[in-house]
A and B are shown apart, each in its own frame.
Chain A
């Protein structure tokens, strides 16, 4: 597993309250936000959001690097394409669009073709 440094991360969108617009649309009253870490960096998350949703809220759309070094993130959003693979609490190859974020999750971006677990 090659751990990527935070400064290697793909550029993020500038953050403002734009991520609140969908919450406002459905008049959401989420619970208090909690923190997960993404490659060591603290990121705010809401209970009920998938890891992919947490990353999108933080302005991050890329979190996997393919074997030839190209960035990927969520594509199908419904668990079919496996493009959004990510390591959550030391378990590699989780589909970020399906896994619910939980307080204290240690999330790491992953690299390669998604066979990390077989190398252990």
Chain B
């Protein structure tokens, strides 16, 4: 055992990480809560810096009372010394040594730090998937979640006339948030067919709260007179120095843009997203089993590496309520592991997790990107934004150079070799290349300066903590 101040390290202070940290601290486990953001809450409960003096931050939020309770409990545990909250630190590597886990972090200024722990809970969250289309690199084209994050955190809008497009449950709160903040919404473009919800009626009916939430968003869209086009997709964004318009088209039953349905919509902002992808890098580097959609966990949220748990979007995207349930379950499992007692998982948390996962699966089945989206990607469209690799170059690698998997495509084209480590272009390159998505193993969870690696002692050189 290391010192009692380092028993559980929780990576990520969003809903899952907070629920886990609070549960463990409540059972007198000393928790180190490490988060890359300056404030706790994750993406879901992102809020303006205190200096901006927001007296009504809940105007941009859903389920604010849940957040207020989490924040109060966090404050109490921090004050009592049971949780050490370390904001502004990005964990780039976790390793298992014979005496426990070592977590390596970088501050925003690339200052390295090292923390030790007996158990690690990965609540690393998710980022947005955006599939490429002509014009998607134009300034003013942002991810739907990015527009929301900049609004919630910085109280800013990228423009005045927005189109929100793509597929998934995130589009509704993004559109209503932008509208409430003063943007005009030229259109909400959703690829899914709402009739597909009919196939999941029973699952949906089990979540009246979610239905009420959706109805609330729908009401606000009506109030802001937002034109909603379902079974539609953005086929191109236009402009030279920034986006000036988008072309949208109706989708046919096969998920192809229907000829002669195209229409042009003027806008200075396009907020676009096609769902979320989990951050699984730390788990992968630890040797945990992952698949492209999640870190694989058992009923107690344990990964297959002893001492490592995962909860929230990292363990499969399902929203904040699911993350809270999973975080609590993981926290209780950690307590049992560290104290030697039997795990006491509340049956309500487990029931809630089961139902919410089913709900998430139903949403996922409804909100699929158009099946033939890759056909809309012209040869001169960039698919890899960091390395400026075009769809034509990716197709050339497959058809002329014989690349049969994503790794070969990457080696031949540099797609995925840039700053973002292939996170943004991964699904786009896979779709354009016609390769199945692969589980990507990244040695580090963010780019690390060589100077930091050079100063990183090998395990035999001892610990900094």
Interface flag for B56 (CB, 8 Å): yes
B227 an interface residue at 8 Å Cβ cutoff? no
Nearest residue, chain B, Cβ from A82: B419
Binary contact readout A28-41 vs B (1 if CB under 8 angstroms, 0 otherwise): 11110000000000
Question: How distant is A31 from chain B, measured CB to nearest CB, in Å?
Answer: 6
Q: How many residues of A contact B (CB 8 A)?
A: 52
Cα distance A19–B155 when bound, in Å?
8
A contact residues around B143 at 8 Å (CB): 75-77, 81
Residue A27 CB within 8 A of the other chain = yes
Smallest CB-CB separation from A97: which chain B residue?
B150
| Set B36, B48, B59, B158: member contacting A48, Cβ < 8 A | B48
| Most chain A CB neighbours (cut-off 10 Å) among B59, B150, B157, B181 | B150
* B388:A68 contact, CB within 8 angstroms: yes
Q: In the complex, which residues 259-274 of chain B have their Cβ closer than 8 Å to any Cβ of chain A? A: 268
State whether A47 and B145 are in contact (beta carbons under 8 Å apart), knowing that A25-B180, A53-B156 are contacts in the complex.
no
Do B242 and A71 touch (CB < 8 A)? yes
Contact B139 A57 (CB under 8 A): no
Residues in B whose Cβ lies below 8 Å from that of A72? 137, 139, 385
Assess whether A6 is interfacial by the CB under 8 Å rule: no
In the complex, are the beta carbons of A70 and B56 less than 8 A apart? Answer: no
How distant is B352 from chain A, measured CB to nearest CB, in Å?
27
Nearest B residue to A57 via CB reads: B156
Bitwise interface map of A from 80 to 108 toward B, beta carbon under 8 Å scored 1, else 0: 11110100000001000111100000000
Q: Which residues of B sit under 8 angstroms from A21, Cβ to Cβ?
A: 157, 181-182
Q: How far is the CB of A116 from chain B (nearest CB, A)?
A: 12
The residue in chain B whose Cβ has the minimal distance to the Cβ of A67 is B388
Known pairs A10-B241, A77-B146, A78-B43; A66 contacts B388 (CB<8 A): yes
Q: Tell me whether B147 and A19 are in contact (CB under 8 A).
A: no
Q: Is the interface of A mostly helix, strand, loop or mixed?
A: loop
How distant is A58 from chain B, measured CB to nearest CB, in Å?
A: 10
The B118-155 residues at the A interface (CB cut-off 8 A) are 127-128, 137-143, 145-151, 153-155
- The residues of B that contact A68 with a CB separation of less than 8 Å are 388
Residue of A nearest to B239 (CB): A71
> Do B154 and A52 have beta carbons less than 8 Å apart?
yes
- When the two chains form their complex, are residues B387 and A113 in contact, meaning their CB atoms are under 8 A apart? yes
Q: Report the bound CA distance from A26 to B152 in whole Å.
A: 10
Tell me which residues across on chain A come within 8 A of B241, comparing CB atoms.
10-11, 62, 71
Return chain B residues, CB-CB under 8 Å to A71: 138-139, 241-242
**Known contacts A11-B241, A27-B54, A98-B108; A53/B419 CB under 8 A:** no
Contact partners of A85 in chain B: CB under 8 A: 419
Q: Which residues of A contact B180 (CB under 8 A)?
A: 25
Q: Is the beta-carbon distance between B146 and A22 smaller than 8 angstroms?
A: no
On whether the beta carbons of B56 and A27 are closer than 8 Å, the reply is: yes
Contact residue among A11, A18, A27 (Cβ-Cβ distance under 8 Å from B160): A18
* A103–chain B nearest beta-carbon distance, Å: 12
Question: Which residues 65-97 in B have Cβ within 8 Å of A in the complex?
Answer: none
Cross-chain contact A27 with B154 (CB below 8 angstroms): no
Instruction: Quote the shortest CB–CB distance from A41 to chain B (angstroms).
Output: 17
* Residue B424 CB within 8 A of the other chain: yes
Bound-complex Cα distance A73 to B50 (A):
25
Say yes or no: B157 contacts A61, CB within 8 Å: no
Q: Are B158 and A56 in contact (CB under 8 A)?
A: yes
> Once the chains are docked, how many angstroms separate the CA of A110 from the CA of B154?
22
**Least CB separation from B447: chain A residue:** A82
By a CB distance below 8 angstroms, the chain B residues around A114 are: 386, 418-419
Q: Are A48 and B139 in contact (CB under 8 A)?
A: no
A25 and B181 in contact (CB under 8 A), knowing A76-B127, A81-B420? yes
Partner of A62, one of B38, B139, B151: B139
Contact of A28 among B36, B55, B388, B419 (CB under 8 A): B55
Contact (A77, B149) CB under 8 Å given A48-B48, A53-B155, A61-B158? yes
A50 — which chain B residues lie within 8 A by C-beta? 150, 153-154
Pairwise interchain contact B242-A22, C-beta atoms closer than 8 A: no
Q: Inside 8 A of A98's CB, which chain B residues have their CB?
A: 108
Asked if B52 is an interface residue, CB under 8 A from chain A, the answer is yes
Q: A67-B388, A97-B150 are in contact. Are A76 and B140 (CB under 8 A)?
A: no
- Enumerate chain B residues within 8 angstroms of A27, measured Cβ to Cβ: 54-56, 59
Q: Is there contact, CB below 8 Å, between B420 and A80?
A: yes
In the complex, which residues of chain A have a beta carbon less than 8 angstroms from the beta carbon of B54? 26-28
Whole-angstrom distance between the Cβ of A5 and the nearest chain B Cβ:
15
Cβ of A99 to closest chain B Cβ, rounded Å: 7
Q: With A21-B157, A53-B155, A56-B150 known to touch, is A11 a contact of B52 (CB < 8 Å)? A: no
**27 contacting pairs across A/B (C-beta < 8 A):** A10-B241, A10-B242, A11-B241, A13-B159, A22-B181, A25-B59, A25-B155, A25-B182, A47-B51, A48-B50, A52-B154, A53-B155, A66-B388, A71-B139, A71-B241, A72-B385, A74-B142, A74-B158, A77-B143, A77-B149, A81-B143, A81-B420, A83-B385, A93-B419, A97-B150, A113-B387, A113-B388
